[in-house]
Copies of this chain bind each other. A is one copy, B any other.
Amino acid sequence: MMAVKLIPPADEAYNYPLLIKQLLLSAERYAGDNEIVGGNNGQRFSYSEFIERVHRLANVLTEAGVKEGDTVAVLDWDTPRYLECFFAVPMIGAVLHTVNVRLAPEQVVYTMNHAADDLVLVHDDFLPLIAKVKDQLDTVKGYIQLTDAAQTPEPPLEVIGEYESLLAGALTEFDFPDFDENAIATTFYTTGTTGNPKGVFFSHRQLVLHTLALAATTSMNDNMQLLQASSVYMPITPMFHVHAWGVPYVATMMGLKQVYPGRYEPATLLKLFVTEKVTFSHCVPTILQMVLSSEKAKAIDFSGWQVLIGGSALTEGLAQAALERGIDIYTGYGMSETCPLLSTTWLPLDADQLSQAEQVRLRVKTGKPVPLVNMRIIDEKGRFLPHDGTAMGEVVVRTPWLTQGYLHEPEKSEELWANGWMHTGDVGSIDSGYTLQIRDRIKDVIKTGGEWVSSLDIENLISQHPDIELSAVVGLPDEEWGERPHAVVTVRPGAQVDRDAVVSFMQKFVDEGAIEKWAIPDTVKVVDEIPRTSVGKVDKKLIRSQLQDG
């Protein structure tokens, strides 16, 4: 133990824990006439109305029996009332469970039982599901109905009441208590390709620190003024997914105009973008693709729209398409376990003098770690690898806003936190300027002859073959080399491809030094379709087992 000099103990009267309620202190001061707009039902609230509604909601929740340490689940689209839950639930000392409404019904039940939800706020659209499974929900004591209809529909199960009616009848003030900043504020479930969803959780302290770091990061780069007093924010990442990347907390602390779009339909999103003059959004690549390719998008001027992409890799093609439409596109890196922000694109001061191709290459990178994030890459023995842009290793992080484990999963938690670092499961390289490039998932990287080869790198090269449509590369066991790469490909209509064609095509990249010769797949199998998981990702596990079974 260090013999440092300590300030007086934290239980003194002037202790000031980091609590979510403090993020509201500046909201009203900065907000002015800014509103919080609901695309779900057209409601618009000033910040003082919003804050009063947070107080009313706290009274509704405690009236409904919610106590400190209880868990309140929400099943809703992206709405201002969801934002009210982001604040009121943790501010009374309860835990907010943001239920992933896209899970299969049995998984929704699993997560709600696993999180031990006490009270459930549920939208009309999900009430039939909940009514059907309610006997399987072991801990739930009551339901509150959320509706967007002018006339509240008859609910298919017994409810305490409808949200707006309950708020209207509640007292306008609630005395939010102080408590330990390590109190859990939120929980939600991350889904893998196998097994049950795993619960991650974040404390008040972690969310406040994440908010401050995000606020500092999003406006310190001259060329990336993502969140400014003049910004209008609309999330297009669901609020149940890592609190919409934590941006609603930042936007509220800064008193920004916020637009919550309800369900994600291209027409609604585009209409809100235009009428509310949205300047900043964040989403996964497929959503941006969907929005841009919709018929209505053709007539819209997107110039000045800043979009932060995360969740999966931003391709150069989509980045270029976005830039050509005037969209300022950036990449962020993070995951459910990391609250989520770890790194973002970093544009140099002379970025406006770069060609569009150079811009694209910069913007698809996962960028530099934000302040307070300690990020390293390690080899299989846990040794730190150099930051030379070449060495590939698992990305491990330390920073004050990481989930401290998986809920009730001590073994998986220990694996996640092996040797005091959080293991992301991603493989990347870091260059001397500390720019991270994610190269693969660790379970997909191919370990051959003591070297790691990125399956994505091989796929990117193979896919440039004019006759090949899509490819997936996996590692299979090999007695001599440990593992060797094998490819499955789909070919363009009428074309024919065999291994020799792929080998000779790849040889040129080997000659250029773009890839090592041991990265050339041992086999290339032409298939009609690349297997995919239920959420549309390439199913490498299935490909591996199919190839092994011959």
In contact, A18 and B180 (Cβ under 8 angstroms): no
Given contact pairs A201-B7, A404-B7, A183 touches B2 in the complex (Cβ within 8 A):
yes
Chain B contacts for A229, CB-based, 8 A: 220-223, 349
Residues of A1-54 at the interface with B, using a CB-CB cut-off of 8 Å, are 2-8, 10, 12-14, 16, 18, 22-23, 25-26, 28-30, 32
Cβ of A348 under 8 Å from chain B: yes
In contact, B422 and A14 (Cβ under 8 angstroms): yes
Q: Which residue of B lies closest to A250 (CB)?
A: B216
Cβ of A505 under 8 Å from chain B: no
Docked Cα-Cα span, A86 to B2, in Å, equals 20
A430 to chain B minimum Cβ distance, whole angstroms, is 10
The quantity of this chain's copies bound in the complex is 2
A80 to chain B minimum Cβ distance, whole angstroms, is 21
Chain B contacts for A227, CB-based, 8 A: 220
Q: Which residue of B lies closest to A203 (CB)?
A: B7
Docked Cα-Cα span, A22 to B397, in Å, equals 13
Chain B contacts for A32, CB-based, 8 A: 348, 433
In contact, A417 and B212 (Cβ under 8 angstroms): no
Cβ of A219 under 8 Å from chain B: yes
In contact, B221 and A405 (Cβ under 8 angstroms): no
In contact, A69 and B417 (Cβ under 8 angstroms): no
Cβ of A460 under 8 Å from chain B: no
Stretch of A264-272, A284-292, A304-312, A369-377 with 4 or more beta carbons under 8 angstroms from chain B: A369-377
In contact, B180 and A4 (Cβ under 8 angstroms): yes
In contact, A179 and B2 (Cβ under 8 angstroms): yes
In contact, B26 and A371 (Cβ under 8 angstroms): yes
Chain B contacts for A228, CB-based, 8 A: 220-222
Given contact pairs A230-B349, A371-B26, A404-B8, A67 touches B215 in the complex (Cβ within 8 A):
no
What count of chain A residues pass the 8 Å CB interface test?
Answer: 73
Q: Chain B CB within 10 Å — which of A5, A6, A184, A420 has the most?
A: A5
Chain B contacts for A93, CB-based, 8 A: 2-4
Cβ of A502 under 8 Å from chain B: no
Cβ of A400 under 8 Å from chain B: yes
A152 to chain B minimum Cβ distance, whole angstroms, is 33
Chain B contacts for A223, CB-based, 8 A: 229
* 0/1 string, A218-236, CB within 8 A of B gives 1: 0111110101111000000
Cβ of A472 under 8 Å from chain B: no
Given contact pairs A28-B434, A404-B14, A5 touches B69 in the complex (Cβ within 8 A):
yes
* 0/1 string, A251-294, CB within 8 A of B gives 1: 00110000000000000000000000000000000000000000
Cβ of A346 under 8 Å from chain B: yes
In contact, B216 and A212 (Cβ under 8 angstroms): yes
Given contact pairs A12-B404, A400-B18, A4 touches B371 in the complex (Cβ within 8 A):
no
Given contact pairs A16-B400, A220-B229, A221-B228, A180 touches B371 in the complex (Cβ within 8 A):
no
In contact, A3 and B68 (Cβ under 8 angstroms): yes
Chain B contacts for A28, CB-based, 8 A: 434
Chain B contacts for A346, CB-based, 8 A: 29-30
Cβ of A499 under 8 Å from chain B: no
A302 to chain B minimum Cβ distance, whole angstroms, is 21
Residues of A498-550 at the interface with B, using a CB-CB cut-off of 8 Å, are none
Q: In the A-B complex, list the 9 residue pairs whose CB atoms are closest, starting with the nearest.
A: A4-B183, A215-B216, A29-B434, A2-B179, A212-B212, A219-B219, A26-B371, A13-B420, A5-B184
New A-B contacts (14) at CB < 8 Å, excluding given A32-B433, A219-B220: A2-B69, A4-B68, A4-B69, A5-B69, A14-B402, A14-B422, A16-B400, A23-B372, A25-B369, A26-B371, A26-B372, A29-B369, A29-B434, A216-B216
Q: Can you give 26 A-B contacts (C-beta < 8 A)? A: A2-B177, A2-B180, A3-B69, A3-B93, A4-B68, A4-B69, A4-B179, A5-B183, A6-B182, A7-B184, A7-B404, A8-B405, A16-B399, A22-B372, A23-B372, A26-B368, A26-B370, A26-B371, A29-B369, A29-B433, A212-B216, A212-B372, A216-B216, A219-B220, A222-B225, A229-B349
